[in-house]
Amino acid sequence: MGLLAIAMLLSLFGARLFQLQGVDSKAYASRAEAAGLVNIALPAKRGQILDRNGTPLAESVAGMMVVADPTRTTPNAEAIAKLLADRLHLDYFDLLGKLTKKNDTTRFVYIARRIPSTLASSTMDELKAHNYVGVDTRPDPLRTYPAGDVAANLIGYLGNDPTKVSGGLERSFNGMLAGKDGKETYEVGGGNRIPLGDNSQVDPVNGKNLTLTIDRDVQWFSQRVLRTAVESAKAQSGAAVVLDSRTGEILALADYPTFDANKPGKAAKDDLGSRALSDVYEPGSVEKVLTTSSLIDAGKVTPRTRFTIPAELPVLDRVIGDWFPHGTIHLTLAGVIARSSNIGTALAATQFAPAELYDHLVKFGLGQRTDVGMPGEARGVLGDRDSWNTLTRAQVAFGQGLSVNALQMATAINTVANGGQLITPSLVVGRATTTSDQEVGTETAKRRQVISADAARKTAEMMEGVTTQDVGTAPGAGIEGYRVAGKTGTAQEVGGACNCYRDGGLDVSFAGFAPADKPRFTVYVVVKHPSDGASGGGTAGPVFRKILNYVLQKYAVPPTDTPPARIPTKWRVHGRG
């Protein structure tokens, strides 16, 4: 009888053990965890974003997360919520919900992330002074941007919510920058950690640093000069690009308006990205550099080829004019570039079939993203090759009827500076992978010959005429002691309900490089929708000159001490004066 009783008792224990370990194991584990286990993230330290010289543009410094145990804060939830809302600028009602014990027994909630250590410490001192319990802090690195608005348009920003990453490089390279958070689990009892209770920890893996080709000083200077020009011209916006002509590395990619990456909430939404990559516009006469260099490369013309240029040029149902009034004039191709004649360029372009010009511009990278690694880059518009006709050819030849972004156009002009070889631009040093699995960086830069070195040299010599005092359209863009190749651009804006050219809406630009006979840096500037009276030479040209002069001096680039190119810009009809 006694043995039977013992057997029945053991059977009951066995059944209960089977239930706990098998049938209801997950349910009971969940209850145990809720009752006495706390899971807490151990944040990884985010990698730095550095300029080419190792100067931090984004870094993580000591910060704290504020956490709470609702089972302990419930009695004083209203008072604690008010204090935290005032001190940390949080929503009172959201806090009250987190601090109040629900039907479950949750022992851990996040109150705020990435709070400056001094603010978190003073807040905790105030809570302790009121004898409020249940709120604590843990290490949580805080993202900061030491240079404020310098390169903010590229870097993006990181908000207080660690699950949300903004645009820019912070987003593109989040995978390598973020690292991997660790995790700690421990047992509590009576609101306190049990010293000999269950305890496990997975250490965090810190993020990797990202080094950029950007030079912080050049970026800073470019932004300041651009800002002054945009504000002086009462323009809508502006962008400036500085490239190392030989490598395609981006030393500066400036936008205005921009924002302080430490205070993104105070900026307009449109200012948070990079207009140099996302905005598209018609390049205007800067395009003439690509058209004429392609013609020279194809053996169709030379810088001395003569053109008789009428006052107007009918093409199909349109009439093409020049920006300056004139009767019939006689210019060489060099003169067409120096004077920036639309009619002369359109006449020269007749040496190409429409599809031929299209194919050459594709080689220059137009209508294609540079794939530099930034989100939101626009492709631009080159149209459909098969739809091009004689009017398309004429208009595109001088920069109308297509669209580009600033980096795309700077890269195309840099092809002329680099002996006719296009180098895909780089923003990252070495090799890195974006969150979309795209490999970018100086080690992945591609090169392809677009025009011959001879065609590039002859084009650069023609561009010198633009900055010549007695010939060109932008003598103010020249730099004393240096041979400077340049080209102005002025284009009407397209927009409105009609999607047509609007009176008064202009985009003005200037592109070029120096020294013209041994290029070291390429600079491109565009100012969008300035006030009346603005021009590529008068508005964008001075910005180009200041930035180019600064970078030449900073990198101690000596003048070449060679005489400037002297190519005739005009010709005279035999027997006439």
Q: What is the DSSP string of 77-120?
A: HHHHHHHHHHHHT--HHHHHHHHS--SS----EEEEEEEEHHHH
In this prediction, residues 295-323 reach a mean pLDDT of 96
Q: For the chain, give every domain's residue range.
A: 42-179+202-211, 216-259+272-554
The pLDDT of residue 38 is 73
Lowest-pLDDT range, 2-16, 252-266, 380-394, 505-519? Answer: 2-16
Residues found in the chain: 577
Q: Structure tokens of 304? A: 């001395």
The pLDDT of residue 8 is 56
How much is the pTM? 0.86
- When pLDDT is cut at 50, 70 and 90, the band that residue 15 belongs to is low
In this prediction, residues 327-356 reach a mean pLDDT of 96
Lowest-pLDDT range, 149-153, 182-186, 421-425, 428-432? Answer: 182-186
The pLDDT of residue 20 is 46
Q: Tell me how far apart the alpha carbons of residues 467 and 473 are, in angstroms, rounded to a whole number.
A: 7
Q: Which amino acid is at 474?
A: A
Task: Provide φ and ψ at 263, rounded to 5°.
Answer: -135, 55
Residue bearing the bigger pLDDT, 188 or 486: 486
The vertex-235 CA angle with 232 and 237, nearest 5°, equals 115
- When pLDDT is cut at 50, 70 and 90, the band that residue 146 belongs to is very high
Half-sphere exposure in the Cβ direction for 248 (13 Å, CA)? 30
Residue bearing the bigger pLDDT, 203 or 511: 511
513: which strand partners? 485, 522
- pLDDT over 90 at 148, yes or no: yes
Q: Which amino acid is at 173?
A: F
Place of tokens 């400037």: 564
The pLDDT of residue 35 is 47
Please state which CATH number belongs to domain 42-179+202-211. 3.90.1310.10
In this prediction, residues 542-557 reach a mean pLDDT of 98
Residue bearing the bigger pLDDT, 92 or 576: 92
Half-sphere exposure in the Cβ direction for 386 (13 Å, CA)? 0
In the set 222, 285, 293, 294, the catalytic residue is 285
- Do strands 63-68 and 135-139 pair parallel, antiparallel, or not at all (unpaired)? antiparallel
Place of tokens 């919900």: 97
Q: Tell me how far apart the alpha carbons of residues 259 and 268 are, in angstroms, rounded to a whole number.
A: 8
Q: What is the DSSP string of 415-451?
A: HHHTTTEEE--BSBSS-EE-TTS-EESGGG--EEE-S
Lowest-pLDDT range, 3-12, 19-28, 293-302, 351-360? Answer: 19-28
- pLDDT over 50 at 33, yes or no: no
CB 266, CB 258: distance < 8 Å: no
CB 112, CB 67: distance < 8 Å: no
Q: Cβ–Cβ contacts within 10 Å for residue 131, how many? A: 7
Q: Which amino acid is at 296?
A: I
In this prediction, residues 90-119 reach a mean pLDDT of 86
Task: Provide φ and ψ at 138, rounded to 5°.
Answer: -140, 155
| pLDDT tens digit sequence for 392-449 | 999 999 999 999 999 999 999 999 999 999 999 999 999 999 998 999 999 999 999 9
| pLDDT tens digit sequence for 161-181 | 655 677 899 999 999 999 998
- pLDDT over 90 at 12, yes or no: no
Nearest to 348 by CA among 229, 268, 459: 459
- pLDDT over 60 at 7, yes or no: no
Highest mean pLDDT among 26-30, 99-103, 399-403: 399-403
Sign of the CA dihedral with 406 first, then 407, 409, and 413 last: positive
Nearest to 485 by CA among 506, 507, 514: 514
Binning the chain into helix, strand and coil, the percentages to the nearest 5 are 40, 25, 40
Q: Tell me how far apart the alpha carbons of residues 13 and 28 are, in angstroms, rounded to a whole number.
A: 17
- Do strands 109-116 and 329-332 pair parallel, antiparallel, or not at all (unpaired)? unpaired
Residue bearing the bigger pLDDT, 500 or 443: 443
Q: Which amino acid is at 538?
A: G
Q: Tell me how far apart the alpha carbons of residues 218 and 252 are, in angstroms, rounded to a whole number.
A: 6
- Residue 89's region, left for phi above 0, alpha for psi from -120 to 50, else beta, is left
pLDDT > 70: what percent of the chain?
A: 88
The vertex-203 CA angle with 26 and 186, nearest 5°, equals 45
Place of tokens 């990435």: 114
Q: Tell me how far apart the alpha carbons of residues 509 and 215 are, in angstroms, rounded to a whole number.
A: 23
Q: Which helix or strand (DSSP H or E) is residue 139 part of? A: strand 135-139
In this prediction, residues 445-474 reach a mean pLDDT of 92
Nearest to 405 by CA among 567, 289, 292, 528: 528
- When pLDDT is cut at 50, 70 and 90, the band that residue 6 belongs to is low
Averaged confidence pLDDT in the chain: 89
Of the candidate CATH numbers 3.40.710.10, 3.30.160.70, 3.40.1190.20, 3.20.20.70, the domain formed by 216-259+272-554 belongs to: 3.40.710.10
| pLDDT tens digit sequence for 524-537 | 999 999 987 788 88
Q: Tell me how far apart the alpha carbons of residues 202 and 210 are, in angstroms, rounded to a whole number.
A: 25
The pLDDT of residue 457 is 98
End-to-end CA distance of the chain: give it in Å, rounded.
Answer: 139
Q: Tell me how far apart the alpha carbons of residues 120 and 136 are, in angstroms, rounded to a whole number.
A: 9
Cβ burial of 200 (10 Å; 0-12, 13-18, 19+) is exposed
The question of whether 285 is a catalytic residue gets the answer yes
- Residue 561's region, left for phi above 0, alpha for psi from -120 to 50, else beta, is left
Give the C-alpha distances (Å, rounded to integers) separating 81 from 70, 110, 138, 218.
Answer: 12, 13, 19, 47
**Cis omega (within 30 of 0) for bond into 515:** yes
In this prediction, residues 92-118 reach a mean pLDDT of 85
- When pLDDT is cut at 50, 70 and 90, the band that residue 577 belongs to is very low
Q: Tell me how far apart the alpha carbons of residues 143 and 168 are, in angstroms, rounded to a whole number.
A: 15
- pLDDT over 90 at 51, yes or no: yes
CB 425, CB 377: distance < 8 Å: no
Q: Cβ–Cβ contacts within 10 Å for residue 400, how many? A: 20
The pLDDT of residue 573 is 80
Q: Structure tokens of 185? A: 């689990």
Residue bearing the bigger pLDDT, 236 or 16: 236
Q: Structure tokens of 11? A: 């059977």
- pLDDT over 60 at 549, yes or no: yes
